Structure 1
Amino acid sequence: MFKWFRLIIITTTVFCLFGGSLTLGAKKKPQQPDKFPPNPLEITTPDPLLPRSPDKQPLNVLEKRRLEAALDKLNQEAAVKLRAGDKVGAFDIWNRELRLRRHLGTLVEITALSRVGAIAYNENNRQQVIYITQRLQKIQQPIKSQTQPDLEILQALGQAYQQVRSPEFALTAYEQILVTVRRRKDTAKEVETLTTIGELHLSWFDYPKAAATYEELLVLANSDNNINSQIIYLQKLASIYTQAKEFSKSIQAKNQLVEIYRQNNNLALIPGLKLAIASEYESLTKENPDLIQEAFKNYQESYTTAWQLEQYARAGDALRKLIALYRAAGQIEDALQTSQTLIQTEQLAANFYGLMNAYDQIGQIYVERKEYAKALNAFQQGLKFAQQLKHDENYFNQQIKKISELMAT
């Protein structure tokens, strides 16, 4: 009896093992889960907040008002959950809200997508940003082929793309706006759109496209003889070309600014511009040494104009640059003469630190020329200011000691 019972157990176990395996083997292999989950903004499941399917019969005004009030509450609930640290719950609610916002109109939906997109980006919710970007693209797709698109919707799309940091998609919206406003000969809107496009290119460090856009704006400003706009666009171009290290173009823009400032008797800004122009010419001398004269000329003009305007600190900046350039070119006498002018300028500016450094530079030049008595005098003068500033006193004492020893030998 026991043997028979044992045989039944063994047979049953074998059947379960192999029979089960055969049964499982007969089934299809389970499908792999989707690598990318479906966009929750595209779910079409009926929602309790909708009285019926809007596809069959659009909502009336009263129903839209009720829905809008309910969606505003959902937005508030999501914000509360986010503040409580429940990010998943918050975005689940926001996604429901966004799905339903489309029944209130395209512009309303885009505005809501923009709002939630900004939150998603700030919360570093990359997947949610992707969902919103995909939905914006779906809305934009049919608009691309329209010859008379709704500019308000395109503007909203561009702003929404900026909220989710998608400049390439934002640009497609603004470029379509640009084509449309040009067709309508709406110059004011053209300027506004080009400005937005230029700023978008700049925000992503696309200097060539940013420069091309501001060049277009400058043409428009010139045609209207709009001096204020000319100044703004030239300043932008000068900055862009400097950052892109296109110094020749930067110099051209800055020189145009200098002329405008002179014509309008706005001289105060010229010394700084001339200083920048000189510095850029100095950079260009690496490829074209002949441009060194342009660097000298602009440093001198910067100093002269600054002196006349009593901008002594700016004048000192120009003189220091000139001295360095003279020394590099081996024009030591010119460097010394300019250093004496620098002393006078720093005195007028009451710049003790500048005076200390100026005497240090003079002392170094005299040491190079082995004129130790003059070098000693310069370092002693420098020490006086170092003592007042309580800065670099040891340095000047060491220099004085070295020169004294050289003079004693």
Structure 2
Amino acid sequence: MLKHFSIMIAAAILWQFSSSLTLAQSYDPQQADKFPPSPLEVTTPDPLLPPVGNKQPLSLPEKLRLQAALDGLNQEAAAKLQAGDKEAAFAIWNRELRLRRYVGAVDEVQALARVGEIAWNQSDRQQIFYITQRLQAIQKQAQPKNSKTQTNVDLQLWRALGQAYQNVRSLKPAIEVYNQILVAVRQQQDKTAEVDTLKTLGNLHLVWFNYPQAAANYEELLTLATSRGERQEELTYLQQLAYIYQQSKQAQKSIDVLTRIKDIYSQDINSQAQLPTLQLAIATNYETLAKENTALLPEAFKNYQAAYTTAWQLQQYARAAEALQKLIPLYRSQGQLDAALETSKILLETEARGANYYGMMQAYDQIGKLSLENKDYPQALAAFKDGLELARQIKHQEAYFTQQVAKVSSMQGNEQK
């Protein structure tokens, strides 16, 4: 379950923001001298606009006519790009973007987002820089005069800005925008918008590998879902937190979250198949903590044993074997060779139930080595011979087991003299 969730998160991050951390440096306005003047700031009169002498805002009919013409420019640019003429395509798009501001800020930002996504896909750093620079100018103009009161913020514009920054993979400004949106929707007591914004922020912080802040966002979401009794959402946020705490190596917090997920799954017969995986993850975290606090070692043993028992009952023999494979070195680290040996014999039976011949061969090897440590040569020899027989069947490690049989036979012979 956790592995599957982490794969989904990683895939989403790679799909949306691959290479963003390296390219984001190119969008700093202080680097403007590295590029020619922005084509988005050209002031030459355009035939699609009313005469220069008329400085009044466009009327609604004029805006509608301009919008239709700009949609045509967009289609023309797309056709140019399709034909392989990238330079001409972006020249047309830049003209469209210059004129979009006469229609309205939201319309302009949405167009910037659209063309920005295309520029990103074309790896056009210069175009992305121009678009990001324009977005920052619009954001500055839209900034509320009173930073403490944001109930009158144009949320449609700010959400468009947030999406546009995401499209050009300018993540830090995107986070700043969504934090401002979060303040506004909280002042408006819009719980639905608050949840949506926290989700967006959590994902953006994950993209930047800012696990502490991502965790803070999802902890807030978890609190909201729990207070409303939204069980499915609560489970989703717990899974996301489990991934975050796993990635940030926070073992105790991982245990707390995984335990809550385990309790939820225990009450749902359709989810109980996930329990061994959770118990294994909990045990692994306790084992990590036990390196600093040995008093927690019994918890690691208990959870590994629980994982084995649950997996066996569910006939998940591969998962049961995994728990036993974790237990054996743990017993050995505590000098409990007899317990490690008995666990290895249980492992052999478990691998046999799962028809895992390679696993059985490894279990015979484990039994042989532990028996040697106990100087039980007959048992060690029997184990290595059984391992050799399996090795011959699957044509793997035959030479190794042949050597082990010869070695133990010699040791047993010397012992008997």
Cα 1:235–1:35 change in 2 (3 A) is closer
Cα 1:82–1:54 change in 2 (3 A) is farther
Structure 1 position 71 matched with structure 2 position 32: no
Q: Which blocks of at least 5 consecutive residues in structure 1 are unaligned?
A: 1-32
Structure 1 position 103 matched with structure 2 position 113: no
Aligned to 2:29: none
2:101 partner SS = helix
Aligned to 1:391: 396
Deviation at 1:82, TM superposition (A): 3.0
> What amino acid is the match of 2:402?
N
Aligned to 1:282: 287
Structure 1 position 336 matched with structure 2 position 341: yes
Out of 117-126 and 196-205, give the one that drifted further: 117-126
Query: In the TM superposition, what whole-angstrom CA distance separates every residue of 1:40-86 from its partner, at most 9, and x where no partner exists?
Result: 21222111222334971333444334333332332233333334444
Largest Rg, 1 or 2: 1
Structure 1 position 273 matched with structure 2 position 281: no
- 2:380 aligned residue (375, 380, 384): 375
Aligned to 1:199: 203
Q: Is the contact between residue 114 and residue 159 of structure 1 (CA under 8 Å) also seen in structure 2?
A: yes
Structure 1 position 130 matched with structure 2 position 129: yes
Q: How far apart, in 1, do the equivalents of 2:97 and 2:54 lie?
A: 17
2:143 partner SS = helix
Q: How far apart, in 2, do the equivalents of 1:383 and 1:112 lie?
A: 69
Q: How far apart, in 1, do the equivalents of 2:208 and 2:33 lie?
A: 33
Aligned to 2:144: 145
Aligned to 1:45: 44
Cα 1:34–1:314 change in 2 (3 A) is closer
Moved over 4 A (4+): 33-36
Query: In the TM superposition, what whole-angstrom CA distance separates every residue of 1:78-122 from its partner, at most 9, and x where no partner exists?
Result: 333334444333222211111011222222111110011111122
Q: How far apart, in 1, do the equivalents of 2:34 and 2:308 lie?
A: 66
Structure 1 position 404 matched with structure 2 position 409: yes
Out of 207-216 and 350-359, give the one that drifted further: 350-359
Query: In the TM superposition, what whole-angstrom CA distance separates every residue of 1:336-372 from its partner, at most 9, and x where no partner exists?
Result: 1111111221121121121111111111111222222
Q: How far apart, in 2, do the equivalents of 1:211 and 1:235 lie?
A: 11
Q: How far apart, in 2, do the equivalents of 1:54 and 1:195 lie?
A: 48
Aligned to 2:302: 297
Which residues in structure 2 correspond to 1:13-32 (within 5 Å)? none
Query: In the TM superposition, what whole-angstrom CA distance separates every residue of 1:150-197 from its partner, at most 9, and x where no partner exists?
Result: 222211111110011111111222122212221222212111111111
Deviation at 1:35, TM superposition (A): 5.5
Aligned to 2:176: 172
- 1:188 aligned residue (192, 217, 231): 192
Which residues in structure 2 correspond to 1:237-248 (within 5 Å)? 237-248=241-252
Aligned to 1:88: 87
Which residues in structure 2 correspond to 1:252-271 (within 5 Å)? 252-265=256-269, 266-271=271-276
> What amino acid is the match of 2:36?
P
TM-score by length of 1: 0.87
Q: How far apart, in 2, do the equivalents of 1:83 and 1:204 lie?
A: 33
1:145 partner SS = coil
> What amino acid is the match of 2:301?
F
Aligned to 1:12: none
Deviation at 1:261, TM superposition (A): 1.8
Query: In the TM superposition, what whole-angstrom CA distance separates every residue of 1:226-276 from its partner, at most 9, and x where no partner exists?
Result: 111111111111111111111111111111111222234442222111101
2:36 partner SS = coil
> What amino acid is the match of 2:142?
I
Q: How far apart, in 1, do the equivalents of 2:262 and 2:409 lie?
A: 49
Aligned to 2:325: 320
State the percentage of identical aligned residues: 57
Which residues in structure 2 correspond to 1:222-241 (within 5 Å)? 222-241=226-245
Q: How far apart, in 2, do the equivalents of 1:346 and 1:95 lie?
A: 65
Q: Is the contact between residue 211 and residue 240 of structure 1 (CA under 8 Å) also seen in structure 2?
A: yes
Q: Is the contact between residue 144 and residue 176 of structure 1 (CA under 8 Å) also seen in structure 2?
A: no
Q: Is the contact between residue 202 and residue 210 of structure 1 (CA under 8 Å) also seen in structure 2?
A: yes
> What amino acid is the match of 1:71?
L
CA RMSD of aligned residues (A): 2.0
Structure with higher RCO (Cα < 8 A, 6+ apart): 2
Out of 299-308 and 209-218, give the one that drifted further: 299-308
Q: Is the contact between residue 363 and residue 375 of structure 1 (CA under 8 Å) also seen in structure 2?
A: yes
Q: Is the contact between residue 199 and residue 210 of structure 1 (CA under 8 Å) also seen in structure 2?
A: yes
Cα 1:142–1:126 change in 2 (3 A) is same
Q: How many residue pairs get matched?
A: 377
